[in-house]
Amino acid sequence: MKGLNEIFATVQSHLLTQGAISEDESGSCRLRGRYGHRCAIGVLINDEYYSYALEGLGISYYTAGQDGPLLHALTRSGVDAYEPRVAALLHDLEDLHDAGQVAEWRAQLDEIARRHAIGCARPLS
């Protein structure tokens, strides 16, 4: 499974390179949106585990102990969305993508890294 550092680095690199929100034609956030864009969670899901049925689901819809198709897709992709520290990081990254301003992403990502001790975190086993 990917650790906090690897998850964060993947999302950070992706979002800063993409420089745009992943959304559909109506402006709703999507795991995989127009122009090949992916959101902070969508980029973590391998192609073989993605399906359109996952759209509209978000990490923020799940509470501790819940199960669901988005969590399954993430776990099969190497992201243990059931692990509380990983789930908390995913929530913050999803919120950044869905509610943050693209121009502020770099500073917001720095804050998320600080809050989750990214770079200092122990790898997950």
Mean pLDDT of 95-118: 95
Q: Please report whether residue 65 resides in a domain.
A: yes
CA distance 114 to 108: 10
Check residue 57 and give its pLDDT: 86
Q: Please report whether residue 120 resides in a domain.
A: no
- Taking the whole predicted model, whether its pTM rises above 0.95 is answered as no
Whether residue 89 contacts residue 1, with contact meaning beta carbons closer than 8 Å, is answered with: no
- The pLDDT confidence band at residue 121, using thresholds 50, 70 and 90, is very low
Q: Please report whether residue 92 resides in a domain.
A: yes
Q: Please report whether residue 18 resides in a domain.
A: yes
- Give the chain's domain count: 1
Q: Please report whether residue 58 resides in a domain.
A: yes
pLDDT, tens digit (0-9, with 9 covering 90-100), for 8-57: 999 999 999 999 999 999 999 999 999 999 999 999 999 999 999 999 88
125: pLDDT strictly greater than 50:
no
Q: Please report whether residue 10 resides in a domain.
A: yes
Q: Please report whether residue 34 resides in a domain.
A: yes
Q: Which domain holds residue 108?
A: 4-115
Q: Please report whether residue 125 resides in a domain.
A: no
123: pLDDT strictly greater than 60:
no
